[in-house]
Amino acid sequence: MIIIALILINLILISFFNFKTILIILFFECLSGLISFAFLKRKSLGLYKFSSSQRIDNSNINDIQSDKYYQKLIDHFDFPIFFLDKNLEIKIQNNQSILSYGKNTSLPVSSVIRDYEFIENIGKFKKNPKFNNFIWKKELPERKTYKAQLKYFNNFIVLQVLDFTQENNSKKNQELYLTNLTHELKTPLSVIIGYLETINFHEFSLEENKSFIQIINSKSFEMKNLIDQMLKLSEVENLVKTKIKINVFETINRSINNYRELFKKKSVTLITDLDSSKNLFIDFAPNDLDIVLNNLLSNALNYSESNTTVTVFANLNIKKNQIEIIVKDQGIGISSDNLTKITEKFYRVDKSRNNLIQGHGLGLAITTEILAKNGCRIDISSDLGKGSAFKIIFPLS
């Protein structure tokens, strides 16, 4: 359209002016055309510069507009980011880093992140840029682990500070879990191997050999129990089960009947107060409440002396709108500092105290996991030397 218009204008000009004037006009038209072309080209290059990812690399870092651009960009991230110069002084910070460390432009980063391990590692990076990835711990009371990642970018060094606490803890927990499991399996296995070697000697009487076989048998069962508990724990942690309606009274009675003889044998009196639970129903995964009750009853029996009493109550707490099952013993009790730990996997209070009682410290871990999966919880209270009470709470919606 523009070209057609130009041709028409030129034709009109030819008819009005002489040849010399037309040449001059054409010269100026070409000149202005060239200038416009050059201007448009610069502008389009500029646009390209600001719309491509390469733009960042090409842009001039001293340009105020670039700093603002970087600032805007890094403000989108929800972890601290610092742009440092070659002396590791802070030049640009994102909002999250200002929130965590305050606004500290022009200060060396080592005077802003004051954790000893960070300062040591950033010093290493200064000497050797290969040390551009490191972890450090923040001391008490935070007890956090952070990960630093440093990358060169134009004339900047970009430092990202990532919260690594969870990854670090879960890695540590996994290692601990594996160490505990290996230890728990190794102990009975060594006993089994030891007795098997002894039997091979043929030096002992039939009676003696029989007693060795009994030990082998009980240790094998111990190992099987541990493996069953591990499988149960993994099942509870990973499987989502459909809940069914469960009658509280019937379930508790079923568990208690399994234990009656064992309580009698140890001369521990078992008292129940369950009448008010006869018509109470809860939504729970099939068989899981039996596992919870069996764990609590077997602990009450194991950690009680003879001639003491274990009481099991169940009732509807109208005030709190919840159903409660309580297993209360007059056993050895648990100190307050151990109370928070006994639900951890493999935790056993004072192993020497428990030496004669079989167990791997998994029962309460399974119990709490099952209860959590079913929307319930456990409250544990205890008086060292006097006894403990384990209260299962089923909130009613």
DSSP codes joined into one string, 160-172: EEEE-HHHHHHHH
Q: How far is the CB of 315 from ligand ADP (least distance, A)?
A: 20
Total number of residues that touch ligand ADP (CB under 6 A): 22
**x/- site string to ligand ADP, residues 310 to 349, per CB under 6 A?**
-------------------x-xxxx-------x----xxx
Three-class SS state of 376: coil
Q: Which is nearer to ligand ADP, 4 or 356 (CB)?
A: 356
317 touches 324 (CB < 8 A):
yes
Quick one: which segment of 54-62, 220-228, 248-256, 298-306 binds ligand ADP (CB under 6 A)?
298-306
Partners of 329 in the beta sheet? Answer: 310
Task: Determine which residue in the list 295, 330, 368, 374 makes contact with ligand ADP, applying CB under 6 A.
Answer: 295
CA–CA distance, 393 with 339 (Å, rounded to integer): 18
392: closest CA among 299, 327, 301, 318? 327
Q: How far is the CB of 88 from ligand ADP (least distance, A)?
A: 50
255 touches 293 (CB < 8 A):
yes
Task: Determine which residue in the list 364, 370, 371, 392 makes contact with ligand ADP, applying CB under 6 A.
Answer: 364
384: closest CA among 336, 329, 324? 336
Q: Does residue number 289 form part of the binding site for ligand ADP (CB under 6 A)? A: no
Task: Determine which residue in the list 80, 216, 363, 370 makes contact with ligand ADP, applying CB under 6 A.
Answer: 363
Half-sphere CA count of 261, side-chain side, radius 13 A: 1
CA–CA distance, 84 with 226 (Å, rounded to integer): 54
Quick one: which segment of 45-53, 181-189, 218-226, 358-366 binds ligand ADP (CB under 6 A)?
358-366
**x/- site string to ligand ADP, residues 376 to 395, per CB under 6 A?**
------------x-------
How are beta strands 309-317 and 281-284 bridged, if at all?
unpaired
Quick one: which segment of 66-74, 99-107, 256-264, 355-363 binds ligand ADP (CB under 6 A)?
355-363
Taking only Cα atoms into account, the Rg of the chain, rounded to an integer number of angstroms, comes to 38
- Judged by the rule CB under 6 A, the positions of this chain that interact with ligand ADP are 295, 299-300, 303, 329, 331-334, 342, 347-349, 354, 359-365, 388
